[in-house]
């Protein structure tokens, strides 16, 4: 089992930071959609700053930005998973 799978099974918050349109087209099961440009205004939706958070986008660039922003704002356990297709098989 991968580290990401272990985090997800342990209750990590999975966040898709792509656009709403991209999310509606396809997304990881149970992922919350907070587009990267909305990260600051919707930060309260990330919840507990110690909870594991996994962010992903299409290629890893937007999720890298979101991860850096969250870490700079006190979130202690943020993982940039890269792109949607880098996420572990949900089954």
Catalytic residues: 57
Nearest to 17 by CA among 84, 75, 90, 73: 84
Can you give the chain as a three-state secondary structure string? Answer: CCHHHHHHHCCCEEEECCCHHHHHHCCCCCCEECCHHHCCCCHHHHCCCCCCEEEEECCCHHHHHHHHHHHHCCCCCEEEEEEHHHCCCCC
């Amino acid at each position: 089992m991968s580290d990401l799978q272990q985090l997800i099974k342990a209750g990590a918050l999975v966040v898709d930071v792509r656009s709403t349109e991209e999310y509606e087209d396809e997304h990881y099961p149970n992922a919350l959609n907070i587009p990267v440009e909305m990260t600051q205004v919707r930060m309260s939706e990330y919840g507990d700053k110690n909870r594991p958070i996994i962010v992903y986008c299409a290629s890893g660039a937007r999720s890298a930005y979101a991860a850096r922003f969250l870490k700079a704002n006190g979130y202690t356990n943020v993982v940039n998973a890269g792109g949607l297709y880098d996420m572990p098989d949900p089954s």
